[in-house]
Amino acid sequence: MKIVVLGAGIIGVSTAWYLLEQGHEVTVVDRQPDAALETSFANGAQISVSFCEPWANAGAPFKVAKWLLREDSPLLFRPRMDPAQWRWGLSFLTQCTTSAFERNVEQLVQLGRYSHASLKTLVAQTGIEYERLERGILHFFSSQADFEAGAVGAEIMRRHGVDRRVLNRDEVLKVEPALAAFGPHIHGGTFTPSDESGDARVFTQKLAQLCAERGATFLWNHDVLALEHSGGQITGAQVASRETGKKLALKADAYVAAMASYTPALLKPLGEYLAIYPAKGYSATLRLKKPEQASVVSLLDDGRKIAISRLGDHIRIAGTAELAGFDTSLDSPTSRARCASLVKRYEELFPGVADTSEPKYWTGLRPSTPTNIPYIGRSKKASNLWLNAGHGTLGWTHGAGSGHALAELMAGRAPEMDFAFYGDALPAKPIRSMAPA
Ligand SMILES: Cc1cc2nc3c(=O)[nH]c(=O)nc-3n(C[C@H](O)[C@H](O)[C@H](O)COP(=O)(O)OP(=O)(O)OC[C@H]3O[C@@H](n4cnc5c(N)ncnc54)[C@H](O)[C@@H]3O)c2cc1C
């Protein structure tokens, strides 16, 4: 089949890879000059199968209300005259119950396991190097109350088959000795040894290169303008060159929409409404002055809700979320405060370890759904259109598996996981071989 993939982030490129594996003729379109230049560019770097709780839980509305007025709060909701934002917010509230949380976690654990297995196979097959560290993720707490809540959370996740261990302060420091200077403030932690970290941009760009070597065509610097449709089918994708302005209609047997937060606008004219809303996040990447004193285990700092990952001789600090539309500027007072707070916190945790004089700041829009579960499956309005979008906080974690699963669905096969795919995709079968003992 001829297949056009719209979007070359981790999700689009992974999908392209698995479609090529099945012998399809693949064209990938993106408005940027290379892969992974938007949300997949400088994220928290965590392959976080075991820390996958969605934002929506029974306590979330109270926490969000408490944070509303703080410029440096982990989650900032800026109400706008935007019906999509309000619809998303209301839908989010419906997920803030214990039963919805349990249901959503179950799905995210399934997708995470499947994706981790897919990633490991893909890396073994291709040998892609991307500053991968298989050292687990350590979540540490700087208040006793938060630690106790974290221990309860670990128990809940263990019920879902996740190996999340509760550690006292000494055990935390044994897992990551680089935290020693901050040790007196640590009350304990939780640790998931099977999680890992690595650079999503490097991985995606190298995978795109391998796709090109296997025959994929990449149409860079092209805006996707619209989908042409007739009789329940997509008949073409209208694109325009950013360099020449020239428009063309790409014709294929099937189309994959993997444009993250921009996917709903593309599908709206078909009458298909997706609850994906951008949640702006930030990262700072610092050069290490003393690499031997820097952490290698990927960290979650509960006090600030930030991730810290080692990427070779650099450290990445990422986090915070703002529900405030599609703005990707870095120079507003809020953005400046949020970026500065990442570096300030790193210096509190690891004094003198990194060069804080020239931080590389970045912002990206997490394509967030109220459940944190992505749309993977067939469009409800066009039978040759497939969706792979809405991966929220976990698109790097779920990238390989989402691409793999969609390619399987498109081939008429059920991926080996118990997951509620979108549309009338095939029912999935339980993932027996990878289920924990
Ligand atoms: C601060 C932050 C930290 C994060 N940390 C983690 C983490 O530690 N672990 C994790 O698993 N996930 C993390 N994430 C989430 C993860 O980065 C995203 O879920 C993932 O990158 C989404 O991938 P994507 O391919 O869907 O989107 P993208 O990478 O944004 O790809 C979509 C592509 O579509 C293209 N596009 C969009 N519209 C058009 C158009 N009209 N025409 C042409 N091209 C178009 C864009 O150029 C882009 O290349 C984090 C996100 C943020 C913001």
pLDDT of residue 299 exceeding 70, the answer is yes
Q: For residue 60, what pLDDT is reported?
A: 83
Q: How far is Cα 48 from Cα 45, in angstroms, rounded to an integer?
A: 9
Q: For residue 429, what pLDDT is reported?
A: 52
For residue 92, is it within any domain? yes
> E-assigned strands of 327-411?
354-368, 375-378, 385-389
CA distances from 210 to 3, 111, 125, 201, 204 (A): 17, 24, 11, 14, 10
- By DSSP bridging, strand 306-311 and strand 314-323 are antiparallel
Reported as a pLDDT band with limits 50, 70 and 90, residue 430 is very low
pLDDT of residue 290 exceeding 70, the answer is yes
pLDDT of residue 431 exceeding 50, the answer is no
Q: For residue 424, what pLDDT is reported?
A: 77
Q: What is the pLDDT of residues 332-381, one digit of tens each?
A: 998 999 999 999 999 999 999 999 999 999 999 999 999 999 999 999 99
Q: For residue 426, what pLDDT is reported?
A: 64
Q: Which atom of ligand 1 is nearest to the CA of 46?
A: 8
Q: Which atom of ligand 1 is nearest to the CA of 393?
A: 15
Please work out whether the CB of residue 364 comes within 6 Å of at least one atom of ligand 1: yes
Asked if 331 and 362 count as a contact pair (C-beta separation under 8 A), the reply is no
For residue 71, is it within any domain? yes
3-state secondary structure of 358: strand
Please work out whether the CB of residue 349 comes within 6 Å of at least one atom of ligand 1: no
pLDDT of residue 82 exceeding 90, the answer is no
Rounded to the nearest whole angstrom, what is the distance from the C-alpha of residue 182 to the centroid of ligand 1?
32
For residue 186, is it within any domain? yes
Rounded to the nearest whole angstrom, what is the distance from the C-alpha of residue 214 to the centroid of ligand 1?
24
Please work out whether the CB of residue 31 comes within 6 Å of at least one atom of ligand 1: yes
Q: For residue 75, what pLDDT is reported?
A: 74
431 compared with 112, residue with greater pLDDT: 112
Q: How far is Cα 12 from Cα 200, in angstroms, rounded to an integer?
A: 13
Q: For residue 428, what pLDDT is reported?
A: 54
Q: How many domains does the chain fold into? A: 1
Reported as a pLDDT band with limits 50, 70 and 90, residue 437 is very low
Q: Which atom of ligand 1 is nearest to the CA of 10?
A: 25
Q: What is the pLDDT of residues 306-335, one digit of tens each?
A: 999 999 999 999 998 998 899 999 999 989
Q: Which atom of ligand 1 is nearest to the CA of 388?
A: 26
Please work out whether the CB of residue 12 comes within 6 Å of at least one atom of ligand 1: yes
Q: For residue 425, what pLDDT is reported?
A: 66
Average of per-residue pLDDT values in the chain: 94
Q: Which residue's alpha carbon is at the smallest distance from atom 33 of ligand 1?
A: 7
Q: What is the pLDDT of residues 206-220, one digit of tens each?
A: 999 999 999 999 999
For residue 390, is it within any domain? no
- Domain range holding 328? 51-102+132-198+280-368
For residue 401, is it within any domain? no
Q: How far is Cα 293 from Cα 358, in angstroms, rounded to an integer?
A: 19
For residue 428, is it within any domain? no
Q: How many residues does the chain have?
A: 437
Q: For residue 427, what pLDDT is reported?
A: 57
Q: What is the pLDDT of residues 108-121, one digit of tens each?
A: 999 999 999 999 99
Q: How far is Cα 280 from Cα 365, in angstroms, rounded to an integer?
A: 4
CATH of the domain at 182: 3.30.9.10
Ligand 1 site-directed mutation target among 30, 238, 266, 285, most atoms within 8 Å of CB: 30
CA distances from 309 to 77, 103, 167, 273, 337 (A): 26, 29, 20, 35, 21
For residue 72, is it within any domain? yes
Q: What is the pLDDT of residues 154-188, one digit of tens each?
A: 999 999 999 999 999 999 999 999 999 999 999 99
DSSP lists the bridge partners of residue 257 as 6, 387
For residue 294, is it within any domain? yes
Angle ∠(50,14,124) on CA atoms, nearest 5: 70
Q: For residue 151, what pLDDT is reported?
A: 96
